[in-house]
Amino acid sequence: MTVHTPAPDAEGTVPPFDPAPVAARVQAALDGYLRERAPDQRVAFWKAVALGYGGNFETLAGYALPAPSKTSS
């Protein structure tokens, strides 16, 4: 993987680093590895990540979230 340095804009400032694309690649690689090598440990791993760093383990593990229920007021 090569590192790309963002080009400065017209004012000479470099845009801030966006970690989302890198995080998505890392998450996909880890999830693929766990699916292949340790499928029984995959959910436990994502639960530990969610516990330590926050977030929903079901989202991290790739489960579809239930549709929000519509309530009438």
Residue 28 lies in a domain: yes
Residue 6 lies in a domain: no
Residue 11 lies in a domain: no
Residue 34 lies in a domain: yes
Query: Could you tell me the pLDDT band of residue 37, with boundaries at 50, 70 and 90?
Result: very high
Per-residue pLDDT at 12 exceeds 70: yes
> Which distant-in-sequence residues (6+ apart) come within 8 Å of 31 by Cβ?
42, 46, 61, 62
Residue 47 lies in a domain: yes
Residue 40 lies in a domain: yes
Name the DSSP class of 17. Answer: P
Quote the domain boundaries for residue 52.
20-60
pTM of full prediction above 0.85: no
Residue 26 lies in a domain: yes
Residue 9 lies in a domain: no
Q: What's the number of domains the chain is made of?
A: 1
